[in-house]
Chains A and B, each alone.
Chain A
Amino acid sequence: MELFLGLITGILFGFFLQKAEVLRFEKQVRFMLLKDLTIIKFMGTAVLVGMVGITALNQMGVIALSLKATNVAAIIMGGLLFGVGWAVAGFCPGTAVGALAEGRMHALWALLGMLFGAAAYAEAYPVLAKTVLTWGDYGKLTLPQVLGVSPWLIIAAFVAGMLLLFWQAERKGL
């Protein structure tokens, strides 16, 4: 059942990614050059809808959150490394598989690189776990916890910010 649910969810996700064209190398790189904000429109809307549902269901006690540790040094270093690789490859781990499916064969080399990168990380992990991953580790935190406000206030601010961004993006034809 676990595997079946994963497959169905993935098929739908891949379908939506492809129809939104966010799998494309062009869309990703042109976003990084701030010439096309399709990726932001797609991700922003997904997060907007998701955060309302997840927050409501969590408050009702229907679902639990699954947060990742706030180890600041690792996130900054890893985040920047990811960004560098993302710009060179033009794909990310989720989109590369879909890009290959729509015939963008060069995604195959990116996927191969990702497998080697994952293997290298596994080798480096014992050292990283004792060093970088412990630097500035604040554990699992949410924005409402840190700011001491209602999650709905943060969601309202996020909605307002995204709508402003979408409006500007459409106005400028990005």
Chain B
Amino acid sequence: MKKYLMMAQWSPYIAGALVGVLAILSVVVTTSVLHKAQYLGASTTYVRAAGIVEQVVEPEHVAQNAYFQKEKVKVDWQMMFVGGIFLGALAASLLGRTAKIEWAPPVWRERFGANPLIRAVGAFIGGFILLFGARLAGGCPSGHGLSGNMQLSVSSLLALVFFIVGALLTARQLYGSDGKGGL
């Protein structure tokens, strides 16, 4: 057991199969304990977290917003799930000795240089667009990509196809087909 926990990496097939089992167990356990099936997902947490932050400044504005009313601004199962991802990844990276401080990743550096400020701007803009898009589409690669497709949902298959189309076209523009710089 210890040997496996300390390995730097696992086969993606093994890790993927374990996530499949985890997703099934989560639905079964939450159905019996909470009487509500909790499927894995992440993007709604950012809405609730934004609401919690905004409440500090303008509580009335948050109370009146239809989307915050719909998604309920509170700490819930999914927010703890997203927080748990941090702890789990931290433990895995420390055990496997794969944690590394990095301000600009290698592929990015080759194309846009090592300046952490330029990477920060890119990451911020990307994060902004992707979360807006995820909420419009109704989910992200966790909620739609994993959970929705496990349920053979039409909306999730459609969403995953367009996630990938958008990403492939954009990556090709940004990095070129050789990964060394595009248009």
- Interface set of A (CB-CB < 8 Å, partner B): 1-26, 29-30, 32-35, 38-39, 41-51, 53-55, 57-58, 62-72, 74-94, 96-126, 128-129, 132-133, 138, 140-146, 151, 154-155, 166
Evaluate contact between A19 and B92: CB separation under 8 angstroms. yes
**A66 touches which one: B135, B142, B151 (CB < 8 A)?**
B151
Q: How far is the CA of A131 from the CA of B98 in the complex (A)?
A: 46
Minimum CB–CB distance from A130 to chain B (whole Å) comes to 10
18 contacts between A and B (CB under 8 A): A10-B84, A11-B85, A14-B90, A16-B88, A26-B105, A50-B20, A50-B24, A51-B149, A51-B152, A78-B162, A93-B130, A98-B85, A106-B104, A106-B123, A109-B127, A116-B124, A117-B128, A117-B130
Q: How far is the CA of A121 from the CA of B140 in the complex (A)?
A: 14
Q: How far is the CA of A121 from the CA of B128 in the complex (A)?
A: 10
Evaluate contact between A113 and B123: CB separation under 8 angstroms. yes
**A69 touches which one: B81, B134, B155, B164 (CB < 8 A)?**
B155
Evaluate contact between B129 and A84: CB separation under 8 angstroms. yes
Which residues of chain A are near B106, meaning CB under 8 Å?
A: 26
B: interface residue count bin: 35 or more
| Apart from A5-B29, A45-B16, A81-B132: 5 A-B pairs, beta carbons within 8 A | A19-B92, A91-B126, A102-B92, A105-B102, A124-B132
Q: A19-B9, A20-B10, A87-B174 are in contact. Are A70 and B151 (CB under 8 A)?
A: no
Which residues of chain A are near B26, meaning CB under 8 Å?
A: 5, 9
Evaluate contact between A46 and B151: CB separation under 8 angstroms. no
* CB-CB contacts below 8 Å: B152-183 with A: 152-172, 174-175, 177, 179
Evaluate contact between A46 and B152: CB separation under 8 angstroms. no
Which residues of chain A are near B125, meaning CB under 8 Å?
A: 85, 88-89, 113
Nearest A residue to B75 via CB reads A3
Evaluate contact between B163 and A103: CB separation under 8 angstroms. no
Nearest A residue to B84 via CB reads A10
Which residues of chain A are near B45, meaning CB under 8 Å?
A: 93
Evaluate contact between B130 and A85: CB separation under 8 angstroms. yes
Nearest A residue to B162 via CB reads A79
Q: How far is the CA of A113 from the CA of B37 in the complex (A)?
A: 30
Evaluate contact between B150 and A47: CB separation under 8 angstroms. yes
Evaluate contact between B162 and A80: CB separation under 8 angstroms. yes
Which residues of chain A are near B63, meaning CB under 8 Å?
A: none
Evaluate contact between A85 and B127: CB separation under 8 angstroms. yes
Q: How far is the CA of A39 from the CA of B43 in the complex (A)?
A: 19
Q: A10-B82, A102-B100 are in contact. Are A93 and B151 (CB under 8 A)?
A: no
Q: How far is the CA of A43 from the CA of B23 in the complex (A)?
A: 12
Q: How far is the CA of A51 from the CA of B175 in the complex (A)?
A: 35
Which residues of chain B are near A26, meaning CB under 8 Å?
A: 105-107
